[in-house]
Structure 1
Amino acid sequence: METVEVPLHVNVDVRGLGQSPMQALRVLLVADVLRRLAEELHGVPVVLAVLDDGKGTPTSQASWTKTFRIQEPSLRGRSESEVLAFFGGPAAAAFKTATPAGAISAVPGAGKVLEIGPVQAPVPADVPPLTSGLLGNHDPLALRLCLLRFPYAGPAVLSRARLHRAEETLQRWRFKVANWKDMPVAHAVPDVLAAADGALTTALDTASVLTLLHRLETDQSQASGSKFATFTRLDRVLGLDLLRMVGKIRW
């Protein structure tokens, strides 16, 4: 008999972040990493609900989340009771912005609560990212990469220099992935996949995964086909669109 996986119910709370869209983006992004990890690497379906008070948070705009490759939720609600009714019980995990020291951090009707650290960015960065001076003409996924470089529980310190370096990394990796695609097919590097899965499963540690990819990029002992397989598999969790240039370059 075929085994049917029970969906993982996840609740993302971005209420009160109408004036801090970068923070809202980070909370949604970390939850998106969990969804991708569960669905893409472990085959566990995820049902996502977002709590949004509708007070100016751009997360309510489908085009905004699509820009950063964040899947639209199954439910947008304004209260815990809506989420409880939708799930038919408590969520298995809840994501929210970190509360000030001494504040109550419990989330009614949720299992594990993950508090996401603050985003520190230069003015006028803390406005909707698509119109901010920080993002400018950069690829929006460079901002996604910048945020993934920091452990989710600590602060994410952004700057124009870091955004520029992130875009350079994206362009280089996309170019190399397109090149590796034309090399002999090979299996993904098992040690890298195991280390990445361990980092993600235990702590959603995207920073360590990115470090693994940087090391693999320049590892002369690994075949290009293995690099292609590893990069593309882990990009299913990172969501950086590393296949963008495949088939578009004439060597």
Structure 2
Amino acid sequence: MLRITDPRTGHLVDVPAAPRRLLRSSVHLPPLGTDTGTGTTEDTGTGIGPWHLRVLLVGDVLARTAELNGLQVVTVLTTGELTPDRTGALDRIMAVLGIHPPTALTPHRPDAALGGPADVHVLAPGDDGDTTGLRIEVGRVDTAPPEQDASTRELLGAPDPSDTADPLAVRLLLLGHPHTEPLTITGPALAEARRTLRQWRTRVADWARHPSRPIPADLLRQSYAALAENLDAAAVLDLLTALADRPDVPPGAKFETFAHLDRVLGLDLARDIGH
């Protein structure tokens, strides 16, 4: 059972998907083209900034976690009116960040596209639209001014002349912080996320050459419990960090654990297998 802290009460609430085993999720982007405090609008011309990316990512993690728990998920992205250029940019950004495309994109109430009222709304704090159902509020994201240009390029998946950019490092960085809390992205933090991602992919490729072993039951239980309570991907990342250096866990079990949990994390950790 998935549980989310309702920001209106501060209490954990069960995500209402049973008994039909269908979760209707509505992801609401902040208005595009407005000032998000990052300069991204001026740099890219799309109006899509880091805060928008985080809202999309939380909706994606919700869907992946629900599917891991045996639910069928229908996700609608509510964006307001979009130009064709912005629609195309949004599609490209979701693709490079590993965000599963929504079932539908609508500028209006999502009920028709969802087949009924939304069970869960993923949105920015202060979004006071008609959101009957559970709310998941996503904290603001800014970029630190000294690193702003590099961060913006990588956040939006643009080519980087140094060939060091990896948009999934942005995904890792965002997942490593509670989604309800404000976050400022810096160049050093992105660099560390890139290093971690490269290291994990190298190690997963190495572990894949060893005989398969079962995922440690305690680690699987802790990971599922963390995801089931407030989509705590940061706790899962901490568990994987500790697992990577545990001498008592066989390499084959480490591989299976990383590969299995990557179904929710979406970091393409098995990318280097065979290379």
Q: Please give the secondary structure, in 2, of the residue aligned with 1:91.
A: coil
Query: Does residue 246 of structure 1 match 2:253?
Result: no
Question: What does residue range 160-199 of structure 1 map to in structure 2 within 5 Å?
Answer: 160-199=187-226
The question of 1:65 aligning with 2:94 is answered: yes
* Structure 1 runs not aligned, ≥5 long: 100-104
Task: Work out which of the residue numbers 128, 142, 151 in structure 1 matches 2:178.
Answer: 151
Cα distance, 1:106 vs structure 2: 4.4
**1-structure distance, mates of 2:140, 2:32:** 11
How much does 1:79 deviate? 1.3
> Does the C-alpha gap of structure 1 residues 136 and 119 become closer, same or farther in structure 2, counting only changes over 3 Å?
farther
What amino acid is aligned across from residue 71 of structure 1 in structure 2? H
Q: Does 1:112 align with 2:163?
A: no
Q: Residue type matched to 2:106 in 1?
A: G
Q: Secondary structure at the match of 1:61?
A: helix
| Residue in structure 2 matched with residue 88 of structure 1 by the alignment | 115
Q: 1:84 to 1:109 in 2, by over 3 A?
A: farther
**Matched residue of 1:10: which SS?**
strand
Match of 2:11 in 1: none
State the SS of the aligned residue for 1:142: helix
Report the CA distance shift for 1:228/1:5 in structure 2 as closer, same or farther (over 3 A): farther
Alpha-carbon spacing, 1:106–1:194, altered in 2? closer, same or farther (3 Å): farther
Question: Which residue matches 1:26?
Answer: 54
Aligned partner letter, 2:232? D
Question: AA paired with 1:185?
Answer: S
C-alpha separation in 2, matches of 1:13 and 1:129 = 19
**Runs of 4+ residues over 6 Å off in structure 1:** none
In the TM superposition, residue 109 of structure 1 has moved relative to its aligned partner by 4.5
TM-score, with structure 1 as normaliser: 0.86
Contact 2:22 2:71 in 1 (8 A): yes
**8 Å Cα contact 2:21/2:71 also seen in 1:** yes
Identity %: 33
Q: Which runs of structure 2 are paired with 1:180-219 in the superposition (5 Å)?
A: 180-219=207-246
- Superposed displacement of residue 245, structure 1: 0.6
Matched, 1:17 2:32: yes
Q: Secondary structure at the match of 2:123?
A: strand
Residue aligning to 1:230: 257
**CA distance in 2 between partners of 1:149 and 1:17 (Å):** 25
Q: Which residue of 1 aligns with 2:42?
A: none
For residues 64 and 106 of structure 2, the distance between their equivalents in structure 1, rounded to whole angstroms, comes to 22
Shift of 1:110: 3.5
Give the C-alpha shift of residue 176 in structure 1.
0.6
Can you list the C-alpha shifts for 1:94-125, whole angstroms capped at 9, x where unaligned?
A: 101122xxxxx544253111110011212344
- Give the distance between the partners of 2:59 and 2:26, measured in 1 at CA: 9
Cα distance, 1:59–1:160 mapped onto 2, change above 3 Å: farther
How far 1:59 sits from its partner (Å)? 7.5
Q: Is the 8 A contact 2:30 2:124 kept in 1?
A: no
What does residue 143 of structure 2 align with?
A: 121
In structure 2, stretches of 5+ residues that fail to align are 1-18, 34-46
